[in-house]
Chains A and B, each alone.
Chain A
Amino acid sequence: MKSVINILLFSCFVLPLHAGEITVHPGDNLAAAITLAHAGDTILIRKGVYSGVGIVINKPLSLVGTGWPIIDGEGKGEIFTVMSDRVSFEGLEIAHAGLSYIKENAAIKVRDVRYCTIRNNRFRDNFFAIYVSNSHHSVIEDNLIFATVKRNTSTSGNGIHVWKSDSIRIVRNDITGHRDGIYFEFVREALISDNRSEDNLRYGLHFMFSDHCRYVRNTFRGNSSGVAVMYSKYVEMTENVFENNWGPASYGIMLKDINDSHIRGNRFANNTIGIFAEGCSRSMIERNDFADNGWALKIMANCDDNKIFKNNFIGNSFDVSTNSTFSYNTFENNYWSNYTGYDLDRDGIGDVPYRPVRLFSWITEHQPASLFLLRSFFVTVLDLAEAMIPVLTPAKLMDARPSMRRIL
C-alpha cells in the first residue's frame, strides 16, 4: 500500500516537471531547442522569424507559437519532419518549404506515426503544406493554407496530402493556390468537414483508393478542374458546395469507379459539368441542387444501378447527357425546371414522364461544333419531336415521377 502511495506522490511531483516548457526567442536556434527538449515538453515560440530547414521531431512535443512566429524554410527543403507520435503544432506560420522535382518537401511532414495534431497554423507559399504519410488518428484543424506565388501544376505541391493513413480528421481548413487542395490516396475512415478549397491549380479535392471516407459541408470553388473522386467504395459526400468550376476539362465532381457511395444534399452551381460519372455503381445521388451548370449530370453508359432521387435540376443548359441509348440507372422524383408536363390529380407528381436527355445533347456529343445552335428555334422543335418519340436518346432514361415543386 505504501509503495502505491509513493508511486502516486512520485507521479504527482515528478511527471509535471518532466513535461517542461522551453521558450524560444528570435535569434535562438529552433532546431537545437527541439533536440534539447524532453519527450512531452512544450516549446513556446515567441513572435519573430526563425530559419527552419530539415527540423526532425522524433519525440512527443508540442510546438506553440505566440504572436504568429514565422518559421521560414527559405525555399531550401523540408521544414518539419515528424517521426514521433503525439506531436502537435499550434499558432505557427510556416513558409517557403522548398520546391523540388525529386522530393516531396513539405512544411510539415508526418511520417509513420499516430495521434498528431496540426491546429490553427498558417502555411504560406510552401511546396507541399501538410503531408501525412502512413500515419493514423491525426487531426488537421483550422489551418490557413495558401500559395500566392504563380506556379503551374508541376512546380506546385498539394495543400493537404494524405497517403495510406487511417482515421484522419481534416476540419475547417482553408486552402488556396496549391496544386490539389486536398489529396488522398489509400486513406480509410477519414472525415473531411467544413473545409474551403478554392482556386487551386488542379483539383480542389483529389482522392483515390480511399474507402469509407466522409466529406461534409466543404466548399470547392473555382478550382481549375473541380473535384476528382476515383476508385473508391463507401464514400459519403454530404452538403458540400461545388461552384464555379469552369473550363474545358472542369467538373463539379468527376466520379470514376465509385461504388456504393452516397452523394446527398450537395450544391452544384455554375460548373461546366456538375457531375461527370464514369463506371459508377450502386450509388445514391439524392437531394442535391444542380443550378446553372452547362451539363448538370453526364452519366456514361458504364454506370449502373445508381439511384438519382429527389434532386433539383434548375436552369442548366443540359440536364442529363449520356453516350448510349441504354440506361441502367433509376431517376425518380426529381424536380426539373425544364419540365413542361402537368399534374391533373394535384399530388405534386407530374403525370407525364420527363426525359432529361435532349436530342440536342445527343447531337452535341456526336458533332460538338453544333453546340452553338443551342436554343435555336429549330433545335427546340427537334427536341420536342424527340421527346414525344425517342429514337436517338435513351428511351428508358426518364423520370417517371417528376416532382412539380422544388425539393427542399
Chain B
Amino acid sequence: MDGVLKIFKFELHNLSRSKWVILYAVFYFIITYGLFQFESSQSRVVVSLMNTTLLFIPLVSVVFGTMYLYHSREFIELLLSQPIQRTTIFWGLYMGITIPLSLGFVLGVGIPSVAYGMNKLEDVKVLGGLLTMGVFLTSIFVAFAFLLSIRHDDKMKGLGFSILVWFFFGVLYDALILTGSFVFADYPLEKAMLFLNFLNPIDIARTFLLLQLDISALMGYTGAVFSKFFGGWMGMTTALGVLVMWTLVPLLVALRIFRSKDF
C-alpha cells in the first residue's frame, strides 16, 4: 500500500506539472461558468453540463489515459527494474491518472455551480448525481485506456482502438439500439431496453441523470418501466453496482496482462 501511495504521489506531481490536467479542470470551469452566465434557467445549465460530461469525459479519459501510458513507458520500465511488485505499480499508475482527472472535473464543475447558487438540497442532489457519474465515467474509461495500452505495444493501434471504444459507447451503441428498436418494433421492448442499457456505461450514466432532469417525461406511460426501476432503491444500487463492474472488469483484465507482460 505504501508503494501504491508513493507512485500515486509521484504521478500526481508529474501530472500537475504536465499542465494537461490543470487545463482540463480550467476547461470545465470555463464551460460551467459560461453556462451559468449566459443561460437563464438553471435546468438548462444542468442539461448542457450533462451533455458535455457524457460526451467529453469518456473521450478525454480514454485518449488521455492511453497517451499518458505510452509516454511514461520508459518510466514504467524503470519502475519495473526496481524491487516493487507489479500489482503495486499498476494501482499506483491507475490512481495517479484517475484521481487527478476526476478531481479536475469535480472542482471544475463543482466550484462555479456552488458559487452560482446550486446549494439547495434539490440542486445538490442533481449536482451530486452529475459529479458521481463523471467520476465513474472517468474511472471506467481510464480503465479501458489501461487495457488497450497494455495490450497493444503499437502506439497508433492503441490510440486507434481507444478512440473506437469511445465512438462505440458514445455514439454507435445508441444508433444500434435505435435501429434494433425499430426492427423489433412488434415486441414489447421496455424490459429488453432496460437490460441493454446496462451494457453501456454511458447509457447508465445518462439514464441515471435523466431521472433527475426529465422526470416528467419519464413519468409517462413508456418511461414508467424506467422510472420505476431507477427510481427505486434496488435500481439505484444495481446501476451503481454495474458501474463498479464496468470499472473493475477491464481493469482486472489489464492487471492480468500487466503482471505477465514481457516489457
Does B199 belong to the interface (CB within 8 Å)?
no
Contacts known (A250-B219, A272-B217); A377 close to B224, Cβ less than 8 A: no
A-B contact pairs, 13 of them (CB 8 A): A248-B219, A250-B219, A272-B220, A294-B219, A318-B217, A364-B222, A368-B222, A369-B189, A372-B210, A375-B213, A378-B172, A378-B174, A378-B175
A370 to B203, CA, bound (A): 12
Name the distance in Å between A342's Cβ and chain B's nearest Cβ: 14
Q: Mark B215-231, 1 if CB is under 8 A from A, else 0.
A: 11111111110100000
Name the distance in Å between B184's Cβ and chain A's nearest Cβ: 9
B residues in contact with A377, CB < 8 Å: 51, 54-55, 170-171, 174
Q: Which chain A residue lies CB-closest to B42?
A: A315
Q: Sort A-B residue pairs by CB-CB distance and give the 10 closest, nearest first.
A: A294-B217, A368-B222, A294-B216, A317-B217, A369-B189, A378-B174, A248-B221, A246-B219, A376-B174, A317-B214
Picked from B40, B182, B210, the residue with its CB within 8 Å of the CB of A367 is B182
Binding site for A on B (CB under 8 A): 40-41, 43-44, 47, 50-51, 54-55, 170-172, 174-175, 177-178, 181-182, 185, 188-190, 192-194, 197, 203, 206-207, 210, 213-224, 226
Name the distance in Å between A402's Cβ and chain B's nearest Cβ: 15
Does A270 belong to the interface (CB within 8 Å)?
yes
A residues in contact with B181, CB < 8 Å: 367, 369-370
Contacts known (A337-B41, A378-B174, A406-B40); A372 close to B219, Cβ less than 8 A: no
Contacts known (A271-B216, A315-B41, A372-B197); A378 close to B171, Cβ less than 8 A: yes
A379 to B175, CA, bound (A): 8
A362 to B51, CA, bound (A): 22
Q: Are A248 and B174 in contact (CB under 8 A)?
A: no
8 more contacts with CB within 8 A, not counting A369-B193, A372-B194, are A246-B216, A247-B219, A248-B224, A293-B216, A364-B222, A369-B190, A372-B197, A375-B213
Contacts known (A317-B214, A367-B185, A370-B178); A273 close to B220, Cβ less than 8 A: yes
Does A199 belong to the interface (CB within 8 Å)?
no
Name the distance in Å between B80's Cβ and chain A's nearest Cβ: 39
Q: Which chain B residue lies CB-closest to A382?
A: B178
Q: Which chain B residue lies CB-closest to A250?
A: B219
Q: Are A375 and B214 in contact (CB under 8 A)?
A: yes
Q: Please tell me the size bucket of the interface on A.
A: 35 or more
Does A295 belong to the interface (CB within 8 Å)?
yes
A222 to B175, CA, bound (A): 37
B residues in contact with A372, CB < 8 Å: 193-194, 197, 203, 207, 210, 223, 226
A residues in contact with B50, CB < 8 Å: 375
B residues in contact with A330, CB < 8 Å: none
A4 to B189, CA, bound (A): 88
Picked from A295, A369, A406, the residue with its CB within 8 Å of the CB of B217 is A295
Does A371 belong to the interface (CB within 8 Å)?
yes
Q: Mark A232-261, 1 if CB is under 8 A from B, else 0.
A: 000000000000001111100000000000
A118 to B58, CA, bound (A): 65
Q: Are A374 and B210 in contact (CB under 8 A)?
A: yes
**Which of A316, A364, A375 has most chain B Cβ within 10 Å?**
A375
Contacts known (A272-B217, A293-B216); A315 close to B44, Cβ less than 8 A: yes
A367 to B187, CA, bound (A): 10
Q: Mark A362-400, 1 if CB is under 8 A from B, else 0.
A: 011011111111111111110000000000000000000
A residues in contact with B221, CB < 8 Å: 248-249, 368
Contacts known (A366-B185, A367-B181, A369-B193); A380 close to B51, Cβ less than 8 A: yes
Picked from B44, B170, B218, the residue with its CB within 8 Å of the CB of A294 is B218
Q: Which chain B residue lies CB-closest to A315?
A: B43
Name the distance in Å between B125's Cβ and chain A's nearest Cβ: 16
B residues in contact with A270, CB < 8 Å: 216
**Which of B43, B182, B192, B216 has most chain A Cβ within 10 Å?**
B216
A375 to B215, CA, bound (A): 13
Instruction: Report whether over half of chain B's contact residues are helix, strand or loop; otherwise say mixed.
Output: helix
Does A85 belong to the interface (CB within 8 Å)?
no
Name the distance in Å between A323's Cβ and chain B's nearest Cβ: 15
Q: Are A376 and B43 in contact (CB under 8 A)?
A: no
A residues in contact with B40, CB < 8 Å: 337, 406
B residues in contact with A375, CB < 8 Å: 47, 50-51, 206, 210, 213-214
A380 to B171, CA, bound (A): 10
B residues in contact with A381, CB < 8 Å: 171
Q: Are B219 and A272 in contact (CB under 8 A)?
A: yes
A314 to B40, CA, bound (A): 10
B residues in contact with A78, CB < 8 Å: none
A159 to B171, CA, bound (A): 52
Name the distance in Å between B146's Cβ and chain A's nearest Cβ: 24
A250 to B171, CA, bound (A): 33
B residues in contact with A371, CB < 8 Å: 217-218, 220, 222-223, 226
Name the distance in Å between A179's Cβ and chain B's nearest Cβ: 21
Does A125 belong to the interface (CB within 8 Å)?
no
Q: Which chain A residue lies CB-closest to B193?
A: A369
A373 to B200, CA, bound (A): 12
A residues in contact with B41, CB < 8 Å: 314-315, 337
A292 to B219, CA, bound (A): 13
Q: Which chain A residue lies CB-closest to B226?
A: A372
**Which of B41, B50, B172 has most chain A Cβ within 10 Å?**
B41
B residues in contact with A272, CB < 8 Å: 216-217, 219-220
Name the distance in Å between A52's Cβ and chain B's nearest Cβ: 42
B residues in contact with A337, CB < 8 Å: 40-41, 44
B residues in contact with A293, CB < 8 Å: 216
A272 to B217, CA, bound (A): 6
Name the distance in Å between A32's Cβ and chain B's nearest Cβ: 54
Q: Mark A303-318, 1 if CB is under 8 A from B, else 0.
A: 0000000000011111
Q: Are B43 and A292 in contact (CB under 8 A)?
A: yes
